[in-house]
Structure 1
Amino acid sequence: MVFFTRLIVLLAALLLNGCEQSDAPPLDQQLYVWQRQWTPAHDAALRDSHTDFSTLRVLALQAFPQSGWSRARIDPALLKRDGRPLIAVVRLDGQLNGLDRDEVTAQIQQVLSDWQGQGLILSGVEIDHDAGNARLPAYREFLTHLRGVLPASLPLSITALPAWLDSSELPALLATVDSSVLQVHAVSDPRRGLFDPAQAWQWVRAWSRNTSKPFYLALPAYGVALLPGAGGAPVVESEVPIERGGERRELLADPQQLSKLGAELRADPPARLAGLIWFRLPLANDRRAWSLTTLIAVARGDTLDSRVGLKLSAQDGLYDISLSNQGNLDSAWPERLTLAVQGCEGADALAGYALQQRPDLLTFTRLRDGRIPAGGQRAIGWARCAHIDQGGSNVYP
């Protein structure tokens, strides 16, 4: 009898442990809002992201080596209506000769005061400064000073680089703030890509061992272009177009890679990992970011799928020819599209495609790279024909 009693207790304990593991809370998901100039497109982006992302980390202020200070032109009414916890991010360029403690502190205090005067309730401040390892002692002194000046009730966080893992200053630096945000994208030569999942895992595990405070992981949901620069070093073009000639090499973080990493982190989260922060909130016209549909699907861990197909709209024999993507994964423009036709009087391709025409066949061939966002469409040409057989047409990736 005693044996069976102990067996029942053991089985109950195992069942309880299994329940506790399966009921573990999901990782918190947050968003960086990084546009310097807010537009009406922010309204829909904030509204549509509200369910899936708990907190907004909003670019507030930047300091540049040559041009000095620049404030982001936010829309405080939208942020108040949004209502999510709000963290103001101050970007101090890593190429600054040094941090003037008093000037930087005064600038930060002023922007925080102005935001609060506009009715915004702050949940924290984040300092984004890509300091080299040799400058970490001075950066730690600045953060110690800033922590003493800011209200004790206002959490202070920093964006952190994996390279700091090689510095003996790291534990003391992390002790000065309430949390850190480990940036694992575009941290080395961008020519090697924006993101390496295996390398990211190594950095996350190492960071977990080197901090006693909560930390977050900053993950990419964007792309950049590399342009030829002086001396062979590439120039990186991101949100702001750069007036420069030469071929652009587009780099884009792979949603499939990030989705896999998210699943692995949820299944086996490293100690003290508090959540994921996605860079950046995409707007409808953001040509170098995932669509919000794809970002939400990755954040949720949904199965990703592109479903690109032909879409024709006809009026009085004039066909508008478009491609649509009914999946939740952004798709590259197809390389080629063929349409079976009859009795065509004229046809042409739109920018990005070229047209070859035969009496029974129209062939559209891609001239440059581009993407069709999830749930979106793109016009590629027109044709005035007696008939287009959609069933006899083909889209080639």
Structure 2
Amino acid sequence: MTFIHRLSLALAALFLSGCDQPAPTVLDQQLYVWQRQWTPAHEGALRQSRGDFSSLRVLALQAFPGAGWSRARIDAALLKADGRPLIAVIRLDGQLKSLDQDDVIAQIQQLLGDWQAQGLAPVGIEIDHDAGNARLPAYRTFLARLRQTLPATLQLSITALPAWLSSPELPELLKTVDSSVLQVHAVSDPRQGLFDAEQARRWAERWGEVTARPFYLALPAYGVALLTQESGAPMVESEVPIDRGGERRELLADPQQVAGLVMKLRAEPPRHLSGLIWFRLPLVGDRRAWSLVTLGAVARGESLESRLVVQMEERDGLYDIRLVNQGNLDLPWPQRLTLAVSACDGVDALAGYTLQQTPGLLTFTRIQEGRLAAGAQRAIGWARCTKIDQGGFNVYP
């Protein structure tokens, strides 16, 4: 056998062995729209998200202890123009002492009627209720009754908690709905963190063994702040600022950690896993959510990279100094930035930074936390100098 013949056989064997490798599973990807008050920023966010996310799960209605019902002020025209399948999410606060089944069903039916009158045709509803394990039998009874009142064409799903895995009621509960959404973020003591990728995978695998119906995994694309109280118990600040002083500890789901989990789920998906639902649609200026650029990159399985550059725009000796993130990964504002300069007669830092001037050097130091979204830029100061060395800067994370 000639060398060329042996080489051809080896290459053929390599090719065939490569063909035997299973392709990664394609998981449906959806998006929660969780703002209670819609703004003009929703239009751009929905448009930019359309290519990566198949369906929208829209916060529609909430019941609060003592405060009663509250409707989210959605923009029906935007949702109708968007055209993606809609799932209306009804949030029933876990602190409710009990569920008034007649009232809840009446509220849901009224919501569906109002949406239809606005030209919206949801394909399903999702009940988001953080019921404790002791209340799961009553919750199952409610879901079975709700299922009977809904059109057969309308899918019924629930948000589910990992804690339910310890309840013998879970298998029967899951039989009352068409699918479930296992939430694996913000389900433990917040002081332990927002999300644990390995724990989330273990929960998903166990969930796939319990349910015989499709389930989705709700993944985080956001952050929160913990406020320390005198009692020692933390308060959680999310989309709505809490008017209270004191130390704030920022917690953010790490895009690279979440991306690693998604890669593993695609390679070896748990039984019955149908897709991923991302929480939540970010709007421009949302300081506690990943940017849409980063969220889209993670959803598509792209490599994540942040590329921070310093840009200086000069006009009549006045330099505007900006940080630009040219990558697809959001990143924190750098702790410190130094610039080599000559003969400056006026300098200043902008909000978030302070400035120290020494001979031949400007040093910008961060004095508050912040993040620079992928593809975004931020001015940090200005200087009137004879010269700024465009390559003479150092950035310290």
> TM (normalized to structure 1)?
0.95
| Secondary structure at 1:102 match in 2 | helix
- Mapped partners of 1:357, 1:154: distance in 2: 65
Consecutive unaligned residues of structure 1, counting only runs of 5 or more, are 1-10
Q: Deviations over 1:44-81 (max 9, x none)?
A: 10000101100000000000002111100000111011
Counterpart in the other structure of 1:178: 178
- Mapped partners of 1:76, 1:87: distance in 2: 13
- Mapped partners of 1:249, 1:191: distance in 2: 9
| Secondary structure at 1:112 match in 2 | helix
- How many angstroms does 1:230 deviate by? 4.4
Q: Deviations over 1:16-48 (max 9, x none)?
A: 9956932x6511110000000000100010000
Residues 61 and 71 in structure 1, CA contact (< 8 A), matched pair in contact too: yes
- Mapped partners of 2:94, 2:263: distance in 1: 32
Superposed, which structure 2 residues align to 1:86-97 within 5 Å?
86-97=86-97
- Mapped partners of 1:136, 1:390: distance in 2: 63
Residues 36 and 72 in structure 1, CA contact (< 8 A), matched pair in contact too: yes
Q: Deviations over 1:188-226 (max 9, x none)?
A: 101111100111111011000000000000000000000
- How many angstroms does 1:326 deviate by? 0.2
> TM (normalized to structure 2)?
0.95
Give the partner amino acid of 2:59: L
Give the partner amino acid of 1:264: K
Superposed, which structure 2 residues align to 1:14-93 within 5 Å?
18=19, 21-22=22-23, 25-93=25-93
Give the partner amino acid of 1:191: R
Give the partner amino acid of 1:197: A
Residues 136 and 173 in structure 1, CA contact (< 8 A), matched pair in contact too: yes
Give the partner amino acid of 2:39: T
- Mapped partners of 2:186, 2:370: distance in 1: 21
| Secondary structure at 1:381 match in 2 | strand
- Mapped partners of 2:173, 2:294: distance in 1: 36
- Mapped partners of 2:208, 2:194: distance in 1: 22
Counterpart in the other structure of 2:272: 272
Counterpart in the other structure of 1:150: 150
Give the partner amino acid of 2:323: L
Give the partner amino acid of 1:61: L
Give the partner amino acid of 1:308: L
Residues 25 and 267 in structure 2, CA contact (< 8 A), matched pair in contact too: no
- Mapped partners of 2:345, 2:374: distance in 1: 33
Percent of aligned pairs with the same residue? Answer: 71
Superposed, which structure 2 residues align to 1:179-258 within 5 Å?
179-258=179-258
- Mapped partners of 1:126, 1:20: distance in 2: 37
- Mapped partners of 1:111, 1:230: distance in 2: 41
| Secondary structure at 1:95 match in 2 | coil
- Mapped partners of 2:346, 2:109: distance in 1: 64
Give the partner amino acid of 1:332: P
- Give the aligned CA root-mean-square deviation in angstroms: 1.7
| Secondary structure at 1:21 match in 2 | coil
| Secondary structure at 2:338 match in 1 | strand
Give the partner amino acid of 1:72: A
- How many angstroms does 1:124 deviate by? 0.4
Counterpart in the other structure of 2:3: none
Counterpart in the other structure of 2:323: 323
| Secondary structure at 2:344 match in 1 | strand
Superposed, which structure 2 residues align to 1:264-343 within 5 Å?
264-343=264-343
- Mapped partners of 2:122, 2:228: distance in 1: 41
Give the partner amino acid of 2:243: E
2:111 is equivalent to residue 99 of structure 1: no
- How many angstroms does 1:359 deviate by? 2.9
Residues 341 and 385 in structure 2, CA contact (< 8 A), matched pair in contact too: yes
- How many angstroms does 1:143 deviate by? 0.4
- Mapped partners of 2:16, 2:180: distance in 1: 36
Residues 344 and 359 in structure 1, CA contact (< 8 A), matched pair in contact too: no
- Mapped partners of 2:19, 2:169: distance in 1: 40
Q: Deviations over 1:343-365 (max 9, x none)?
A: 10111111111111013110001
Give the partner amino acid of 1:21: P
Give the partner amino acid of 2:328: N
Residues 198 and 261 in structure 2, CA contact (< 8 A), matched pair in contact too: no
Counterpart in the other structure of 1:3: none
| Secondary structure at 1:387 match in 2 | strand
Counterpart in the other structure of 1:4: none
| Secondary structure at 1:232 match in 2 | coil
- Mapped partners of 1:111, 1:285: distance in 2: 30
Q: Deviations over 1:140-173 (max 9, x none)?
A: 0110110000111100000000000000000110
Moved over 3 A (4+): 14-20
- Of 169-178 and 225-234, the range deviating more from structure 2: 225-234
Residues 332 and 372 in structure 1, CA contact (< 8 A), matched pair in contact too: yes
- Mapped partners of 2:19, 2:123: distance in 1: 35
Give the partner amino acid of 1:303: S
- Mapped partners of 2:116, 2:20: distance in 1: 43
2:116 is equivalent to residue 116 of structure 1: yes
2:254 is equivalent to residue 263 of structure 1: no
- Mapped partners of 1:253, 1:330: distance in 2: 12
Give the partner amino acid of 2:148: G
Paired positions, count: 385
Counterpart in the other structure of 1:7: none
Residues 225 and 249 in structure 2, CA contact (< 8 A), matched pair in contact too: yes
Q: Deviations over 1:94-147 (max 9, x none)?
A: 000110000011111111110111001111000000000000011001101100
- Mapped partners of 1:74, 1:187: distance in 2: 27
- How many angstroms does 1:379 deviate by? 1.0
Superposed, which structure 2 residues align to 1:116-135 within 5 Å?
116-135=116-135
- Mapped partners of 1:17, 1:206: distance in 2: 31
